[in-house]
A and B are shown apart, each in its own frame.
Chain A
Amino acid sequence: MALRLLTKSLAPRARAARFFSATVGHGEFPGGQTVPYVNKIHVVDPKDADVIPAYRVLDQQGKLVQGASIPEGIDEDLAVEIYKHMIRLNSMDNVFYDAQRQGRISFYMTAFGEEGTLFGSAAAIKPRDMVFAQYREAGVLMWRGFTLDQFADQLFSNEGDLGKGRQMPVHYGSRELNYQTVSSPLATQLPQAAGAAYGFKLAKEDRIAVCYFGEGAASEGDFHAALNIAATRDCPVLYFARNNGYAISTPVKDQFRGDGIASRGAGYGIPVIRVDGNDVFAVYEATKKAREMILSEGRPVLLETMSYRQGHHSTSDDSTRYRAVSEIKHWKDTNCPMNRLKLYLLDQGWWSEERDVALKDAERSSVLAALTKAEAKGIPALDTMFEDVYAEKPRHLQDQEAEMLEHIAKYPEHYASGH
């Protein structure tokens, strides 16, 4: 207690110390950098800096916070539509999580607790904006119109899968919906988004790249590479960090020591916005503002949503081994993005418990129907295995394909098709 008091009493003095050093001229350095000289050592300690605040519109009971107003563009139709999508994503996550537990698909990742960040941002960007996702952003693709059948086909890696059954489940992609195909290596999409955005800028297209990633991925070198090159080339890209508190088992205290991801923006010369990720309206408005800034100022913006990963990292993870069940329950009970929106809708008279139950039943049935349909489909044709490695099929791949076909013809019973 004494130590704590001491620290507290010292803090204001430390902060004031900077004012005791006088500026004694300034230096001009290459690239137009002007640096003031001071006559005392001036330590810049992030401990003294203010924590970047998170913007919120609704409180945890779904009421408007003091001084806030419902963002322009949000009306009954949009709010209800967002909520319906939340239910749909939630139903999909529940059904396919269970399907994996039953061994019907090989892998799955839910987005429980992050519905606010996904639909708030998805509704605020334009369909022509190119999305570069990490993997926990199926909601963005869903908002753009990816159907339950399309999701299910990818999860079952069947003949209907646009990715021809080549990647693990949840690695979705859709050229038609401007959603670049997900890959497992973390943060690789970050510098790629800068490159795509640069292309839009050179072609004077009215579109941006939107790049999602988790707070863990932001520790990768590609995060640094991307933000720096996006800033120096003035790329119209939105870097959208989903800070959900964990990277698999690693809590943020083992991930970084600064003020989250947002505090890093300034170092790259990139403006930042931090948002309450469990407040879909705040996410919507912040994303909209970020998009406007990106296009009007011709430079990147970094947005960080603060939320909580309510589900396990994936179906290969039991998160109760590294965090308390009570912690998960606390977030579900008190700060769930779906529930906060629902409370608001109920308050407005735009929604009812009856509709809620009915819609949840209907969505669950739709997802189950998509699952059944996808499960019944065959795997992609055998001759697709050697396609698309290159634009053309080189001689050595033709030879290897012929070898494989010859082999399978000899031992068909060992390579039965299907799952």
Chain B
Amino acid sequence: MLPSTRRLSTLASSTLRRQFASTPLVTERMNMFTALNDAMRVAMETDPTAVVFGEDVAFGGVFRCTVDLKEQFGEDRVFNSPLCEQGIAGFAIGYASIGRTAIAEIQFADYIFPAFDQIVNEAAKFRYRSGNQFDCGKLTFRAPYGAVGHGAHYHSQSPEAYFAHTPGLKVVIPRNPTQAKGLLLASIRDPNPVVFFEPKALYRASVSDVPVGDFTVPLGQADIMRSGTDITIVGWGAQMRVLEDACDMAEEAGVSCELIDLQTITPWDVDTVEQSVRKTGRLIVSHEAPKTGGFASEIASTIQERCFLNLEAPVQRVCGYDTPFPLAYEKLYLPDALKNFEAIKHAVNY
């Protein structure tokens, strides 16, 4: 399943450059689902208590993320659950509550809501409410999220803001195969429950050189994908492709953009964004999820509190509209590159 071409390459990601300094890494060409698969393989090899389960994961998963894992690790460690999200979540919490590693899959982020009670009232508060006598930190929920072209209401949602409002949880979203592998391994090993959203539009579409073997990308750190001086643009997940296009358009028009991938939604890297906005004086936050109550609001208000004297234009949020996610009008609904380009122009001309 994994591509066989291995080669030495220099890594594009600044996070990885920082982490590995000048050490060249052996990498392998992977798309996002193979990178996630690889992360879970490493997690299970290095931790005999780790189990992977959810709906349809045993045959490899509906997005192929768990392919061959059952064959390698056995059906006790890689197994199908009954079709019941609250059961998956509760089971995962209980398994983690005795100190073992649970990697649970929710088939689509749109279907995580039946598990909302278990995740918000139980997983998130497990450590706090027991005075640290019990925790379910070795727990990770994986769920495909985001627009996919034709997913309509229930195969397109981006529910990160619901979870970002819950102390005790970490919420992580990768943008490419390399970040996906490193962030997923970090999430699995983080001593806190993590909700890990995977941009399903990129499972096959995004390909990158992924370090072979065991490596992690630290949680809680944003990644400055490109440096700029005129405006800061913040996003995460699949939206980073859109924002790169918007930055290209802006740069052709003579605007220097600093593009930041937040990577961890909570707890988020305030410092990196704050430093960037102090330098550029302008900020756009962009996400697929609806605008009202979206995580952009949290970023915008925090930066306004911290960078009031540096801001030269209002912070703009370029988001999905406050409607359910539509089918026929998906293209119009999404905060695409052009909408972001317009926001950039508005900010620099303010």
Contact = CB atoms under 8 A, between A and B. Distances in A.
B346 interface: no
Nearest to A173: B130
A191 B127 contact: no
Contact of A388 (B76, B79, B122, B131): B131
Interface stretch (A107-115, A227-235, A406-414): A227-235
26 contacts: A132-B94, A162-B130, A162-B131, A164-B131, A166-B129, A174-B133, A175-B134, A181-B134, A185-B121, A188-B117, A191-B90, A192-B93, A195-B90, A195-B97, A196-B97, A198-B95, A221-B86, A228-B82, A228-B84, A233-B91, A390-B127, A390-B170, A391-B127, A391-B137, A391-B191, A397-B267
A224 interface: yes
Interface string A181-224: 10101001011111111111011000001000000000001101
Contacts of B88: 229
A255 interface: no
B192 A390 contact: yes
Given A163-B133, A191-B90, A222-B90, A199 B191 contact: no
A180 B97 contact: yes
A389 interface: yes
A390 B168 contact: yes
Interface in A143-200: 161-164, 166-167, 171, 173-175, 180-181, 183, 185, 188, 190-200
Nearest to B125: A183
Interface in B66-95: 76-77, 79, 81-82, 84, 86-95
A284 B127 CA distance: 33
A395 interface: yes
A226 B49 contact: no
Interface of A: 130, 132, 161-164, 166-167, 171, 173-175, 180-181, 183, 185, 188, 190-200, 202-203, 209, 221-222, 224-226, 228-229, 232-233, 387-392, 394-397
Given A163-B130, A199-B49, A396-B270, A192 B94 contact: yes
A183 to B, nearest CB: 6
B16 to A, nearest CB: 23
B84 A181 contact: no
B98 A191 contact: no
Nearest to B96: A195
Nearest to B101: A199
B91 A229 contact: yes
Contacts of B282: none
B261 interface: no
Contacts of A225: 82, 84, 86-87, 90
Given A183-B129, A191-B93, 10 more contacts: A162-B130, A163-B129, A163-B130, A194-B90, A199-B98, A222-B90, A226-B87, A228-B87, A388-B127, A395-B270
B128 A388 contact: yes
Nearest to A164: B131
Contacts of B81: 229, 232-233
A127 to B, nearest CB: 15
Contact of B118 (A166, A167, A175, A188): A188
B131 A166 contact: yes
A38 B331 CA distance: 55
A163 B121 contact: no
Interface in B116-152: 117-118, 121-122, 125-135, 137
B114 interface: yes
B95 A191 contact: no
Given A195-B94, A200-B98, A180 B167 contact: no
Contacts of A392: 191
B51 interface: yes
A252 B126 CA distance: 31
Contacts of B134: 173, 175, 180-181
Contacts of A183: 121-122, 125, 129
Contacts of A191: 86-87, 89-91, 93-94, 118
A392 B100 CA distance: 19
A209 B94 contact: yes
A234 to B, nearest CB: 10
Contacts of A166: 128-129, 131
Interface in B37-81: 49, 51, 76-77, 79, 81
Contacts of A209: 94
Contact of B94 (A163, A175, A185, A194): A194
Given A180-B134, A181-B133, A185-B122, A389 B102 contact: no
Contacts of A173: 130-131, 133-134
B220 interface: yes
A162 B97 contact: no
B131 A194 contact: no
Contacts of A389: 127-128, 167-168
B168 to A, nearest CB: 5
A164 B133 CA distance: 10
B30 to A, nearest CB: 30
A388 B126 CA distance: 9
A392 B192 CA distance: 9
Nearest to A161: B131
The 4 lowest CB-CB distance pairs between A and B, nearest first, are A191-B90, A195-B94, A225-B87, A192-B94
A202 B117 contact: no
Contacts of A396: 267, 270
A195 B84 contact: no
A171 B90 contact: no
A140 to B, nearest CB: 16
Contact of A387 (B132, B167, B267): B132
Contacts of B96: 195
Contacts of A195: 90-97, 102
Given A163-B133, A175-B134, A225-B84, A196 B121 contact: no
Contacts of A221: 86, 114
Contacts of A162: 130-131, 133
Contacts of B79: 233
Contact of A167 (B98, B102, B129, B135): B129
Contacts of A161: 131
Nearest to B133: A175
B131 A196 contact: no
Contact of A188 (B95, B121, B191, B270): B121
A194 B137 CA distance: 18
A233 B126 CA distance: 24
